[in-house]
Amino acid sequence: MDQHTLTNIIYVAIFFLGALAFGIGPIVIVKLLSPSSATRNVTNKTGQLIECGMVPIGTAWIRFGIIYYHYALIFLAFDVDVLFLFPVAVAYNSPQFVIRDFVEVLIFVGILSLAVVYAWVKGVFTWEQRKYRHQ
């Protein structure tokens, strides 16, 4: 093998070892630094799914309002659209078509703004606090 191929193999091996360290490292650190796994048995909470320091109220099988999913979908849509603006800004940097590129990006952002206005008119952004019965 020549020197260039060997250097590339070493870079890939270092990257692979770094990826393993990032993946396995937190697990090893938690096992080394956390208290023993018998802490749930001391407080008689072995049937509890999570241990956050607070006594849970009711069961985990409650109904969530549809508004949570609306917020998630709107966030996802706008997150992807904003991420789309970065390659657009890089692609539209020719000095010959400055006005045309600006108008195209303005149309794209305008369509996004129409989506926000539509969601606002439909009442997606109004948060009504509901009271749930604890079981």
4 or 112: which carries more pLDDT confidence? 4
CA distances from 28 to 13, 23, 105, 125 (A): 21, 10, 47, 43
pLDDT confidence bin for 43, thresholds 50/70/90: low
pLDDT at 51 over 80: no
Confidence at residue 110, expressed as pLDDT on a 0 to 100 scale: 87
Question: What gap in Å lies between CA 81 and CA 105, rounded to an integer?
Answer: 11
Confidence at residue 10, expressed as pLDDT on a 0 to 100 scale: 95
Q: Which domains can be identified in the chain, with CATH numbers?
A: 58-135 (1.20.58.1610)
pLDDT at 22 over 80: yes
What tokens appear for 85 in the block? 């603006």
Structural Rg of the chain based on CA atoms: 26
Residues in Cβ contact with 125 at an 8 Å cutoff, skipping those fewer than 6 apart = 119
pLDDT, tens only, 52-97: 666 667 676 777 777 778 778 878 877 877 888 888 777 777 788 8
User: Taking the model in full, what pTM does it have?
Assistant: 0.42
User: For the residues 47-52, what does the mean pLDDT come to?
Assistant: 61
pLDDT at 16 over 90: yes
pLDDT at 49 over 70: no
CA distances from 102 to 32, 53, 96, 123 (A): 55, 53, 12, 32
* pLDDT mean across residues, the chain: 79
